[in-house]
Structure 1
Amino acid sequence: MMIPNWLHQRAKVSPELSALVGKEGQWTFRELYEASLGIAQQLHSFNIASGDRVALLSHSNEETVLFIHASWLLSVEVVFLNSRLTEDELEWQINDAEVEIVVVDDRVAQTPILDGVECLSYSTIRQAERKEFEVVELWEEDRTLSVMYTSGTTGVPKGVRQTAGNHTSSALASVLNLGLTDRDSWLCMMPLFHISGLSIIIRSVIYGMETRLYEKFDAKEAAAQITAGTVTAMSVVALTLDQIVRVIEEGNSKAHPTFRTMLVGGGPVPLDYLERAAECGLPILQTYGMTETSSQTATLGKVDAVRKLGSAGKPLFFNQIKIKGTDQAREVGEVLIKGPHVTPGYIGSQSNRSPLTGDGWLATGDAGYLDEEGYLFIVDRRADLIISGGENIYPAEIENVLLAHPAVREAGVCAKDDDQWGQVPVAFLISDQVSEQEILAYCAQHLARYKVPKEIRFVDQLPRNASNKLMRFELKKSL
């Protein structure tokens, strides 16, 4: 199956529809295409061509949207880098991805210094001569368009391939569930280096739908847009949902009747949040997905939003879900996923490792169950995963950093419940003479800020099984 080059096709089909609205201006799809094509030609002047791999280190602004589309008009693979990572973490991912160049937003505070990989700023590229090329109008469905790194339970980040087919099937499955109107405008306050943010940009060009883009989450601005009726949909996590609800409650207002969809992902949502959101007129749809599934796998439809409160819904149209080793309703087991939205694999150091089981199912590592009607309920997001403000944190990654400190002999990390962030990491250490402040300062040098433990506990021993494997659930019990 061939898939049309999204923006190229959309600019031909509906050139004058509103595509992007932001702080720096607004674009129709024709204007978005023309601006992106100009940048693509400038990128091409640096000998970047179809099939190359480029890393993008950026903030979530309109210029970044133009550079994303420019890369795809060139049919380039884009490696999305999390701008919150440390220089060590960025360097590892850039080297693992073996990119041709790193394209850096001028607003990023610190450009990584790399051996053998050229870093070009947005402004440098925008000043270059244009070199014309022929746009690839049709993509093979297995063409990789984006790569996002997600930490594994081993603490080694995996570069997840997301193909033209993955993204397109994800967008189509979503619209079959949510519907589409000619007034739709999606409020995007999610980072574009996350699948939650990038999928909005992709859905926009596939649907012909407007995106209202903000660089950072702003609860007051979100509430203002939702109550004024300028937007019809938004993606949030539990933490940001609560913040928006608080603003609407304080203003004693309600969501505008034209606001249709509040997609909530990134982990379980407290019942209190859902009930308060309903009082504010926010139609909450819980959703379940991951980087390896190019966004949503299951979403709770509007008809069932109240009846199945707490569920992530049924699989979207093209997707399948089953629970490993179970054949009874409500029996908890590992959630397995199959569908055209599932990644074909990884790049770099993990390229030889398949994410799929022998019969083609993606083993998520998440515990859940299906009820009698086939609705998915997630019991736990991977046994040890910490979800802090919607960000996934794997304990092993933090433990690996801690164990690199010369005074640390053993380390264990688990989640602690937190009113503001949902969960935060706490570290248990067996160490020689070292202070908590020194350990935290060391972590801050090697980990993104949201991964730095919020508390250090010094202990005489860590709970381990007969094979000396760390039992993190026992650490959590001690909290």
Structure 2
Amino acid sequence: MIPEPALPARPTPLAARLRELVAEAPEAPAVSDGDTRLTRDELDRRTDRLARILAARGVARGDLVAIALPNTVHHVATSVAAWKLGAVPLPLSARLPAAEREAVLAVARPAVVIEEPLEPSTTDDTPLPDVVGPSWKAPTSGGSTGTPKVIVAGQAACTEHVLARADGLRIDRDGTFLTTAPLHHNAPYMFSLMALLQGHHVLLMQRFDAARTLELVAEHGVTWLYLVPTMMSRILKAVPDDAWGGLGSLRTALHVGAPCPPEVKRAWLARLPRPEILLELYSGTESQASAMIDGRDWLAHPGSVGRVTRGRMRITDDEGREVPPGVVGEIWMRPEDAPTYRYLGAEPRARDGWESLGDLGSFDEEGYLYLADRRADMVVVGGANVYPAEVEAVLLGHRAVDDAVVVGVPDEDLGRVVHAVVRADPSTETALRAHVAERLSRHKRPTGYTFVDHPLRDDTGKVRRAAVAAAVPDRSP
């Protein structure tokens, strides 16, 4: 059973929140995907009917409802229908390979798996009895290992819990929210639903299109834009410098999910109407703590992901001793009060009440956090630590490179050395080697390059580094 979090004295169920929005402006757009558009009233009525269908399939309060649908209004509507029963939506990729899917389902054991859009088979759209579910979401994560786990949010399905962070994320009232990434990933899913509950028109891209993104911002007056560094880089390459003039409606463009190369960040800051529009968030799906920085602050502290804005963080060495500013160590987090999540299928990496997601970094004297890399990704070259993110940022700074992933490969002399898998024309290797040599110490430079013409990351910037490393040609003599 999903644990019951402590509730406020008079919690507002999410269904009641939606009814409030309907009462304010029933014909206002709630969610659209380019093909279908639902007003607030239409979404509320449809999800009452869908909830009755789920209930007929045996879904009850506290059950997990797996949603394996594409980025359409049906995905959002199914999540809302689950809330109306007190059930917990569990978003899954609609294209998950069979083996991975079965592994996730074995861990989650959902009451139902929704693989096709639910079509209302009842005309009964009267409001259901209000209920507050024990959690409002349960996204999955395989991390870099591919081992599935479900991360059940520690916040109940009530407005007070779900929107507690909305102001800090600048998800204010009644804007237009552009969802550019798949809803089976936690961040776009979480932010989209928070925006929906704040009265935004949630505009879903069924598939990310770099050139189309900024067109949608201009056409719909988008106020809040979700990004990851991979998208930011692709947009820069797809959109001419003179075609960035339609961003006047933007209040926030938030990026998350992976380190952003400094050249990419600076290019975005130069093109946005104001640098403070760009907001970077560092946190995990587990949400024990977070750090944040806007573009203006980043220009004063380049490379930082900001100061801690929620929860607590500290950095330690391998023996668990806290390290001074400027020293790289493992980042440990803890929430201020109540637990923020619970795993199904995994145990946290924990020590004395603190938890780690495996990230490495350092604080400066002012409390600004700088990420190094994930502990599991670090490459030890002849006893020296090399952080792939640093090397990747240099490679991505070359205009010929669409993407780059750096891995460690065995070396008879040094133990391991750096190898770069690059999405670029192989004819650029000489220029890339010269570019890297000007910017990195010798032990950090890739000793070998593999050139590919296929994507290395998904649209959220995630990469299965072990799979990339496995595809590197054998270098043994």
Q: Is this a same-fold pair by TM over 0.5?
A: yes
Residue 103 (structure 2) pairs with residue 72 (structure 1): no
Structure 1's 357 and 270: CA in aligned 2 closer, same or farther, altered over 3 A?
Answer: same
SS in 2 for 1:95: helix
Task: Select 2:330's aligned residue among 327, 334, 346.
Answer: 334
CA distance in 1, matches of 2:370, 2:339: 20
Task: Select 2:290's aligned residue among 281, 297, 303.
Answer: 297
User: Does the aligned pair in 1 maintain the 2:63–2:88 contact within 8 Å?
Assistant: yes
1:458 maps to 474
2:420 maps to 416
2:438 maps to none
Code of the residue aligned with 1:101 in structure 2: it is: V
User: Does the aligned pair in 2 maintain the 1:8–1:137 contact within 8 Å?
Assistant: no
Structure 1's 67 and 306: CA in aligned 2 closer, same or farther, altered over 3 A?
Answer: same
Residue 270 (structure 2) pairs with residue 279 (structure 1): yes
CA distance in 1, matches of 2:172, 2:49: 31
Structure 1 window deviating more from structure 2 (367-376 vs 223-232): it is: 223-232
Structure 1's 144 and 229: CA in aligned 2 closer, same or farther, altered over 3 A?
Answer: closer
CA distance in 2, matches of 1:129, 1:97: 32
Distance apart, 1:305 and its partner CA: 3.4
1:344 maps to 341
Code of the residue aligned with 1:331 in structure 2: it is: V
| 1:317-328 correspondence runs (5 A) | 318-324=310-316, 325-328=321-324
1:176 maps to 168
Code of the residue aligned with 2:14 in structure 1: it is: W
Which consecutive unaligned segments of at least 5 residues does structure 2 have? 1-6, 379-387, 397-402, 408-415, 425-461
Code of the residue aligned with 1:180 in structure 2: it is: D
The CA deviation string for residues 202-227 of structure 1, in whole angstroms up to 9 with x for no partner, is 21133222211111111122111234
CA distance in 1, matches of 2:169, 2:79: 27
Structure 1's 413 and 297: CA in aligned 2 closer, same or farther, altered over 3 A?
Answer: farther
Residue 186 (structure 2) pairs with residue 205 (structure 1): no
Distance apart, 1:419 and its partner CA: 4.7
Distance apart, 1:85 and its partner CA: 2.3
May I ask how many residue pairs the two structures share in their alignment? 390
SS in 1 for 2:184: coil
User: Does the aligned pair in 2 maintain the 1:42–1:130 contact within 8 Å?
Assistant: no
SS in 2 for 1:60: coil
Structure 1 window deviating more from structure 2 (125-134 vs 318-327): it is: 125-134
Distance apart, 1:368 and its partner CA: 0.9
Distance apart, 1:357 and its partner CA: 3.4
Task: Select 2:43's aligned residue among 16, 19, 32.
Answer: 32
Structure 1's 414 and 80: CA in aligned 2 closer, same or farther, altered over 3 A?
Answer: farther
1:226 maps to 217
TM-score (norm 1): 0.71
Distance apart, 1:194 and its partner CA: 0.5
User: Does the aligned pair in 2 maintain the 1:53–1:79 contact within 8 Å?
Assistant: yes
Residue 12 (structure 2) pairs with residue 12 (structure 1): no
User: Does the aligned pair in 1 maintain the 2:64–2:88 contact within 8 Å?
Assistant: yes
1:403 maps to none
Which consecutive unaligned segments of at least 5 residues does structure 1 have? 106-121, 396-411, 421-447, 462-479
CA distance in 2, matches of 1:77, 1:229: 31
| 1:46-445 correspondence runs (5 A) | 46-105=57-116, 122-123=117-118, 126-127=120-121, 134-139=128-133, 143-151=134-142, 155-165=146-156, 171-176=163-168, 178=170, 180=172, 182=174, 184-228=175-219, 230-281=221-272, 283-293=277-287, 297-316=290-309, 318-324=310-316, 325-339=321-335, 343-347=340-344, 349-350=345-346, 353-359=347-353, 361-384=354-377, 416-419=420-423
Identity fraction in percent: 20
SS in 2 for 1:292: coil
Code of the residue aligned with 1:190 in structure 2: it is: A
Distance apart, 1:66 and its partner CA: 0.5
Structure 1 window deviating more from structure 2 (337-346 vs 85-94): it is: 337-346
Structure 1 window deviating more from structure 2 (68-77 vs 128-137): it is: 128-137
2:447 maps to none
